[in-house]
């Protein structure tokens, strides 16, 4: 049997059935009317934000990266919990607007922004994290046509990346941001244009579990921000330090030592140079805030054996959980945390594959792992489903359509 990833803390059984937010998943599915179903725990999200607030320096603001999970009720919940939001498209701008979020707290990063997206962001008072000199020229030209003063920041492509990062966003040739050595000249151009200068966005990588590597990257980020500020000759009003904090998905993964990250960052804040003494700092997190708070539920519709191996075939699949299937950035497929939700506290009795309903061999949610003996009608739970699930998977593949979502 192959091992499963660790089930996040905060989940328990009620009468043998997985419960989320104190409610058995059987009742949640009944209320939804059908499976597949994403369930997100508001309590676990609140607990994660509270833990971050306690561990991090008071000076550090907290932003939510909408791309991790743009579900409307989750955005409204975060409007009560965080200090700002980071979006990556005009569509996400509309989502945060619909959620009633103050657009002055929103920043917009991402390469390839269309003119209509730039216009919408400028008109709404959203901060644009510029990804190139050409984008800066377009933003200034469009703002002049609109008669608006744009709020402009620069996304910096640093000369380093986040060691151990699952996804490197900086260092070397990248489509993201402007190479560090070219940044001071663009800062001076923005300031001289009369635009509102908003600062730097420096994102070196994500999904790292090594606290020391995260701390080292934050140290490098602060040093780079200070150097670029001094070279540009303009005060730095705001600096987004990026994210980087990962969550345990796979066997052997251990949670980030949050207290150590906070302690090391507090030490760096205590010795900031004068050039950064008035700068506001934030950290931008998505997966770390919502990933472990979500569970994907699917129902077993068939149980079959092939060459002595058991296949539990569900009404879900990779069209909702692309990452759990191993087809979203992983080189070697490993098992996400999974369970038979309707037999949550039962002992392991057999090795089984959990697969989806799609006509492709890629559609595997769990590979040859140990489970209680499950039957048709049982519910399967895939954990760590709160980020990059419903919105990052090919829901319309083979005409299947999206899963339902609920926040409890």
Domain ranges in the chain are 12-40+292-407, 109-285
Residue 163 pLDDT greater than 70, yes or no: no
Query: What is the reported pLDDT for 168?
Result: 47
CA atoms of 93 and 242, how far apart (whole Å): 19
Residue 171 pLDDT greater than 80, yes or no: no
| Phi, psi dihedrals of residue 397, rounded to the nearest 5° | -60, 130
Query: What is the reported pLDDT for 165?
Result: 47
Query: What is the reported pLDDT for 164?
Result: 53
Considering the chain, what percentage of its residues have pLDDT values greater than 90? 92
Q: Which helix (H) or strand (E) holds 193?
A: helix 183-193
Query: What is the reported pLDDT for 161?
Result: 65
Residue 209 pLDDT greater than 90, yes or no: yes
Query: What is the reported pLDDT for 40?
Result: 98
- Residues with Cβ < 8 Å from 125, sequence gap 6 or more? 103, 104, 151
| Phi, psi dihedrals of residue 39, rounded to the nearest 5° | -120, 130
- Residues with Cβ < 8 Å from 111, sequence gap 6 or more? 131, 132, 175, 176
Looking at domain 109-285, its CATH class is alpha beta
Q: Confirm if 167 and 207 have CB atoms less than 8 A apart.
A: yes
Span between the terminal Cα atoms of the chain, in Å: 34
Give residue 100's pLDDT band: very low, low, confident or very high (50, 70, 90): very high
Least confident of 43-47, 160-164, 231-235, 346-350: 160-164
Query: What is the reported pLDDT for 54?
Result: 98
- Residues with Cβ < 8 Å from 203, sequence gap 6 or more? 109, 155, 169, 170, 176, 177, 240, 242, 243, 284
Residue matched to tokens 């089930």: 7
Give residue 364's pLDDT band: very low, low, confident or very high (50, 70, 90): very high
Q: Confirm if 294 and 13 have CB atoms less than 8 A apart.
A: no
Give residue 175's pLDDT band: very low, low, confident or very high (50, 70, 90): confident
Rounded (10°) CA dihedral 391, 393, 394, 396: -50
The SS3 of residue 180 is helix
Residue 169 pLDDT greater than 60, yes or no: no
CA atoms of 395 and 391, how far apart (whole Å): 8
CA atoms of 288 and 212, how far apart (whole Å): 17
Q: Can you read off the two tokens belonging to residue 39?
A: 């369930």
Q: Can you read off the two tokens belonging to residue 167?
A: 């996804």
Which is it for strands 350-355 and 309-314: parallel, antiparallel or unpaired?
parallel
Global pTM exceeds 0.85: yes
Query: What is the reported pLDDT for 174?
Result: 66
Tell me the mean pLDDT in the region 372-380: 98
Q: Can you read off the two tokens belonging to residue 122?
A: 């400028």
Distance, C-alpha 57 to centroid of its chain: 22
Give the fold, CATH level 3, of 12-40+292-407.
Answer: Lyase, Ornithine Decarboxylase; Chain A, domain 1 (2.40.37)
C-alpha closest to that of 79 among 97, 92, 94, 67: 97
Query: Mean pLDDT of all residues in the chain?
Result: 95
CA atoms of 265 and 277, how far apart (whole Å): 15
Tally the residues of the chain.
Answer: 408
Q: Can you read off the two tokens belonging to residue 315?
A: 């009404």
Computed from CA positions of residues 397, 398, 399, 400, in that sequence, does the dihedral angle turn out positive or negative?
Answer: negative
Residue 109 pLDDT greater than 80, yes or no: yes
DSSP per-residue letters across 137-171: HHHHHHHHHHT---EEEEEEE-S---TT-SEE-SS
Strands (E), 345-407: 350-355, 364-371, 379-382, 404-407
């Amino acid at each position: 049997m192959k091992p499963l990833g660790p089930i996040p803390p905060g989940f328990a059984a009620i009468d043998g059935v997985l419960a989320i937010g104190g409610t058995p998943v059987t009742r949640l599915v009944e209320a939804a009317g059908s499976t597949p179903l994403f369930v997100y725990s508001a309590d676990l999200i609140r607990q994660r934000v509270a833990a971050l607030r306690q561990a991090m320096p008071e000076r550090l603001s907290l932003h939510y990266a909408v791309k991790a999970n743009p579900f409307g009720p989750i955005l409204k919940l975060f409007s009560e919990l965080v200090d700002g939001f980071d979006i990556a498209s005009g569509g996400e701008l509309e989502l945060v607007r619909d959620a009633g979020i103050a657009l002055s707290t929103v920043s917009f990063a991402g390469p390839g922004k269309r003119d209509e997206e730039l216009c919408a962001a400028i008109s709404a008072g959203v901060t644009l994290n510029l990804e190139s000199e050409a984008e800066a020229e377009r933003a200034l030209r469009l703002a002049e046509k609109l008669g608006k003063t744009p709020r402009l920041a620069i996304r910096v492509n640093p000369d380093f990346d986040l060691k151990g990062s699952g996804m490197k966003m900086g260092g070397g040739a990248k489509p993201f941001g402007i190479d560090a050595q070219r940044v001071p000249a663009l800062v001076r151009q923005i300031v001289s244009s009369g635009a509102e200068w908003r600062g730097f966005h420096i994102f070196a990588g994500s999904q790292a579990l090594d606290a020391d590597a995260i701390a080292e990257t934050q140290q490098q980020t602060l040093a780079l921000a200070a150097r670029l500020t001094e070279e540009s000759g303009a005060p730095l009003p705001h600096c987004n330090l990026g994210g980087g904090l990962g969550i345990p998905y796979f066997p052997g993964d251990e949670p980030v030592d949050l207290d150590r990250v906070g302690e090391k960052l507090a030490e760096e804040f205590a010795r900031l140079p004068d050039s950064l003494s008035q700068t506001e700092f934030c950290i931008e997190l998505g997966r770390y805030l919502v990933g472990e708070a979500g569970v994907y539920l699917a129902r077993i519709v068939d149980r079959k054996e092939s060459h002595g191996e058991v296949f539990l075939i569900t009404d879900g699949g990779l069209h909702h959980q692309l990452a759990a299937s191993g087809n979203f950035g992983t080189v070697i497929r490993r098992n996400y945390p999974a369970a038979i939700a309707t037999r949550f506290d039962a002992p392991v009795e057999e090795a089984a594959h959990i697969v989806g309903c799609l006509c492709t061999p890629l559609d595997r949610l769990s590979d040859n792992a140990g489970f209680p003996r499950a039957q048709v009608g049982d519910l399967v739970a895939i954990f760590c489903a709160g980020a990059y699930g419903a919105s990052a998977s090919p829901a319309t593949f083979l005409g299947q359509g999206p899963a339902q979502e609920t926040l409890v």
